[in-house]
Structure 1
Amino acid sequence: MKKTKWIILTIIIACQLIVVLDASIMVTAIPQIGRALQMSATSLTWVQNAYILPFGGFLLLGARAGDLLGRRRMLLIGIGLFSLASMLAGLSPTAEFLLVTRAFQGFSAALATPAALALLSASFVEAKERAKAIAMYSAVSAGGGSVGLLLGGFFTDFISWRVGMFINVPIGIALLFMVHRFIQQTGTRAGRFDLGGAIVSVFGMSALVYGFVQAADRGWGKPETWISFAAGIVLLAAFVLIESRAAEPIIPLRLFANRQRSGAYLGRFLMVGGNFSLFFFIPQFLQNVLGFSSLEAGLAFLPFTVAQFGMMYLIPGLVQRYGNRKVLMAGLLLAIIGTLWMSRIVTVQAQFFPQMFILLTIMGIGAGMVFQPLTVLGLTDVDPQDNGAASGLINVAHQSGSSLGLAVLISVFHVAVHTDQPSKMQFAHGVSNAILGSVLFITAALVATLLCFLPARQAFRTSALPEK
């Protein structure tokens, strides 16, 4: 791989890393944020979802903007706004200000991320180079969350949770310089923005997430809970209608015509729905039940992180020998086994070593085997004019799965706990139930991929894109 390509790949991976980190870097700081800004346990979930929802909801608009205005330009705009939003979030004097700036961060990330992935697809066209680049990108996308836990814990214990936001500023400035220096200007073309579709999709997903949070906070029988669910369903149905009629939709529905692509999007949505929630619940269990500090809770995820990143180097060989399909299925099975076992040992008597250590390693290996095949399959047979939309849709599935999965499993947790001030035993019971819910999400991902991929007659090859 040429030196310039390595630099471009470094820029893309660094950009992806900071936006993925910010989905989890606040998790180990949640107890401190709650005390500093006087936020309740339920409202603290919005520290995550305020970032994830606009990130996922505006990704397709960001992808469209990259197609029309130029991907290099949108990458520069996205990184610049993300750096500004991060600085403001770090300065937050109130809970409301923090949530608004987190949403601003998410919107900015939605502009940068699809541009970065589309630039990767355009820069690496040779099969082996693209496979290697996608493997590295997928490892960062999947493993960045656990790195965020570690960094967030370190900053929280030794400096302040606010540093987790401030650190994005110098990184963003460095990335702006490197993008300007090493990435050439990309083409633009005439077209229209599907702003209505983007806004309806964001409000639809937000209404569903809000419904689950309301159910956890006030109960399933409250009218506002079901009104929120109904609004979410109606808005998402309206979104599909808008996309089917729009001259230039942010999601061309033809992307779902390929069964493998559809399975990859659905499988990613469900896998992340179960997997991301572990980053929220397990650190809370380690701190609130086992007495870990914020840093110790972040360090506890090192087995997961090391295993997941380690798979980055093994995946190309495994795919070459066994094919994407078998590697994907094996990874999902390992993730299910590790997560199910974890749900059984999360008690007040739990010991981190060796049980949780071993299981986090197994879960990390499983996750590390899943995301590269899903990324590859999500870009299968995409027409050049749809590269941006397909890249955005991969990330939409990732972020939407994160937000909805977390909202669902927080509701499961609160139903099991029945109180705002749970004892250690009650807290452990709630976390155990939530992790069991993660198992159901990942199992559903396995079923979805089986249904979409097993009937296919072709074998997946070592190339970055499966053959027809």
Structure 2
Amino acid sequence: MSESTARPGSATDPGSRNRTLILTLILAVQLMIAIDITVMNMALPRIQQDLGFSPAGLSWVLNAYTLAYGGLLLLGGRMGDILGHRKALVIGVALFTAASLLGGLAQSSWWLLAARAVQGIGGALAAPSTLAIVVTTFREESARNRALGIFVMASGLGTAGGLLLGGLLTDAASWRWVLLINVPFGLVVALLAPRFIPASQVQRGRFDVGGALTATLGTTAVVYGFVNAAERGWSEALTITAFAVGVLLLAVFVAIEARHRQPILKLGLFAHRDRSGGFLVFICSGAAMFGMFFLLTQFVQEVLALSPFGAGLAFLPMAVLMFIVPAQVTPRLVTAVGAKPTMLTGLAMITAGMAWLTAVSAGSSYAGAILGPMLLFGAGVGLLNPPLTGTILASVPPQDSGAASGVLQAVGMIGGSVGTAILVTIFGTSIRNATPPPGLDEATRASTVLADAVAAACVGGALFAAAGFLLVLLVIRSTKRTAPAGDPAPATS
């Protein structure tokens, strides 16, 4: 039965739905997608040992997912409109689940990376439909607000909980279970969704496949250029070719979007000064935060010798502040001083945290070198993202609000991937050119080289955060003292 031909009183009739069960299924999908953004971080050192990744190449375990997810997110939203949200959700969850199984069984680096990319594709197809199904299922305003509040909480819980879950599973069993745990939950959702989630109206339209492919492949080529530069140098032929192909594909993407009748990216969304500036700030903050996750998960395990679960606990203070600050502090501060000063305060904290990390060394301790930056990141992101989201969406016409929200999430993911690649370039180059003091034993030498590389890369992270601060200061205009938007923040992912 198609989505547009549901019979009254049938399993696809919204009037017969158990809304609690529908919300439970949607939350399961959202948790799987959000968890997989961070869950692999704690498993990275073990994955490197088992599958033989290079220090720079290891970043692809994260970027293969985020590039596919962010690059195809807008196409996934369009597919939900044309195919029906339930169908897009089921297809996406089925792909995500199959890829999780294949990734958990991976015997080589390329096998794992291919599975991670397919996971990202599945997530991009399913994620836009989750929110759409919540909105159409809960039609009364009070019920919808409660459901959306739970949905947003699940997004944040998944992102933060992924760090703890990844560490726990890696410690208790194997890094493979970080992926395999998705399989039973995905199967349950894929089997129950067609029965219990109501059908949605489908729309006529065309898929902007050319735009989606050129955007994703162009960004991937640029990221590959940075990672290859870290491993083989800037003058290597493959590095130059990757950058050239990436720039060419992104130029083609812009040309396609300017001419397509139903583009996945409306270029007019970037015409507004505050909106375009806000998107750039999300790229900068996402680059700093994604890069920080990649670097510190290795530092706390390889240099501080924490177990994967201990490494997850090390991030807990930051995660707690990411929950508390947006709910309790940010709305009051925005009301008192306005959105722009609040954003500047958050970015100043993120910049200070990254600058603090430039001093880490092989002799650093968690309390002395890591805890302080963690607290600054948690508070800074909590102050930055809600008013920044509100600033971007405030000037969007109602008919474009869905497209703008999708761009916001995609920008955060792609910015994080490109930023991670740039910081990994610094990280890998530092390792390749390292000259530690003579006389060190092998373990101390390895810790020294890695710690110095983390410190060098964090200089780049501090520059990203500082660039975001300057963009808010010079580009975004002062805004009214209104409560910030409560949307989940892409940059924390």
Identify unmatched segments of 5+ residues in structure 2. 1-16, 435-441, 488-493
2:467 is aligned to 444
Aligned equivalents of 2:483, 2:194: Cα separation in 1: 36
1:333 is aligned to 348
Shift of 1:352: 0.8
Aligned equivalents of 1:463, 1:347: Cα separation in 2: 39
Shift of 1:362: 2.2
Q: Say what the alpha-carbon RMSD is for the aligned residues.
A: 3.0
Amino acid at match of 1:339: M
Amino acid at match of 2:419: G
Shift of 1:232: 1.0
Shift of 1:75: 2.2
Q: Rate the CA distance shift 1:112–1:261 in 2: closer, same or farther, 3 A.
A: farther
Q: How does 1:198-277 map to 2 (within 5 A)?
A: 198-277=212-291
2:11 is aligned to none
Shift of 1:298: 1.5
Q: Rate the CA distance shift 1:440–1:26 in 2: closer, same or farther, 3 A.
A: same
8 A contact 1:263–1:449 mirrored in 2: yes
Q: Rate the CA distance shift 1:343–1:130 in 2: closer, same or farther, 3 A.
A: farther
Aligned equivalents of 1:316, 1:4: Cα separation in 2: 34
More deviation, 159-168/314-323: 314-323
SS at match of 1:453: coil
The percent of aligned pairs where both chains have the same amino acid is 39
User: Which of residues 346, 357, 369 in structure 2 aligns to 1:342?
Assistant: 357
**1:345-372 deviation digits (Å, cap 9, x = unpaired):** x111211125422331221111122222
8 A contact 2:97–2:183 mirrored in 1: yes
Aligned equivalents of 1:280, 1:392: Cα separation in 2: 25
2:307 is aligned to 293
SS at match of 2:227: helix
Aligned equivalents of 2:309, 2:465: Cα separation in 1: 28
More deviation, 427-436/442-451: 442-451
**1:211-260 deviation digits (Å, cap 9, x = unpaired):** 00110010012122122112111111111111001111110112223333
8 A contact 1:75–1:112 mirrored in 2: yes
2:457 is aligned to 434
Aligned equivalents of 1:406, 1:333: Cα separation in 2: 20
1:308 is aligned to 322
Q: How does 1:323-402 map to 2 (within 5 A)?
A: 323-344=338-359, 346-402=360-416
Amino acid at match of 2:462: V
Q: Rate the CA distance shift 1:434–1:119 in 2: closer, same or farther, 3 A.
A: farther
Q: Rate the CA distance shift 1:203–1:410 in 2: closer, same or farther, 3 A.
A: same
Shift of 1:126: 9.2
**1:138-172 deviation digits (Å, cap 9, x = unpaired):** 66656644432221111111101111111112232
Amino acid at match of 2:403: A
Aligned equivalents of 2:352, 2:154: Cα separation in 1: 23
1:56 is aligned to 70
SS at match of 1:270: helix
8 A contact 2:339–2:478 mirrored in 1: no
Shift of 1:77: 2.2
TM-score by length of 1: 0.88
8 A contact 2:346–2:382 mirrored in 1: yes
TM-score by length of 2: 0.84
Aligned equivalents of 1:331, 1:291: Cα separation in 2: 31
Q: How does 1:118-129 map to 2 (within 5 A)?
A: 118-119=132-133
- Is 1:88 paired with 2:99? no
Q: Rate the CA distance shift 1:455–1:321 in 2: closer, same or farther, 3 A.
A: closer
SS at match of 2:247: helix
Shift of 1:81: 1.9
- Number of corresponding residues: 461
8 A contact 1:82–1:108 mirrored in 2: yes
SS at match of 2:198: coil
1:453 is aligned to 476
Amino acid at match of 1:435: C
SS at match of 2:205: coil
**1:238-292 deviation digits (Å, cap 9, x = unpaired):** 1111100111111011222333332332211211110011111111111221222
Aligned equivalents of 1:6, 1:263: Cα separation in 2: 39
Aligned equivalents of 2:93, 2:140: Cα separation in 1: 28
SS at match of 1:23: helix
| Bigger radius of gyration among the two | 2
Shift of 1:122: 6.1
More deviation, 188-197/114-123: 114-123
